[in-house]
Amino acid sequence: MVPPRKAYGNGHLAFFRGFLRHPALIGSVIPSSRFLERRIIQAAGIAHSRSVVELGPGTGGTTRAILRALPRQAHLLAIEINPDFVNYLKAYPDPRLDVYLGSAEHIRSALETVNHTRPDAVVSGIPFSTMPAEAGRRILREIWCCLAPGGRFVAYQLMQSVAFLEPLLLGDPHVQLELLNVPPLRVYSWQKPA
């Protein structure tokens, strides 16, 4: 087994390289700003969560922000499709973090693999606007199915696609705009009925 690569710096260079290789999977040239991270943490209720799933963590900027806000006994499962980013994330030294290589469509099997409970929050940075609509709908159905009652789903997006993929299942989102990010992004949030 090959040991994970050591993570150097803040991950911006690795993130940019990943964008150049797979722009449709990443959706932005640079990682999220601290202002966007704060808005996501608040919208997802991370400070009161026991189990959190992050979809598309990239090199872990938002991952680190989630871990800073996450209670000590809580757990974070990061699901990433890019193997280079997975290696980068695995080098992060926090026992609360589990990293899973795979698609967001496999969120349930990822949770089973690491023995996580149903998440109180799912945070997604994956660009729903660049994937086929049916794939986006499958991901949203999987998220909603595994989310704990009263749990929150938060997606930060450039485009509005995520809001229109499964409106009958998710309902209307609460939408906030974070201008202090490049590019400015919308933060969509839904709460599953308790």
Q: Give the CATH number of the domain where residue 121 resides.
A: 3.40.50.150
The whole domain housing 115 covers 12-191
Domain assignment present for 2: no
Domain count, the chain: 1
Q: Which residues contact 9 (CB under 8 A, 6 or more apart)?
A: none
Domain assignment present for 6: no
Domain assignment present for 136: yes
Domain assignment present for 5: no
What's the whole-number average pLDDT of the chain? 89
Whole-structure pTM value: 0.86
Q: Which residues contact 81 (CB under 8 A, 6 or more apart)?
A: 25, 56, 101, 102, 103, 104
Read off the pLDDT of residues 35-90 as tens digits, 9 standing for 90 and up: 999 999 999 999 999 999 999 999 999 999 999 999 999 999 999 999 999 999 99
3-state secondary structure of 178: strand
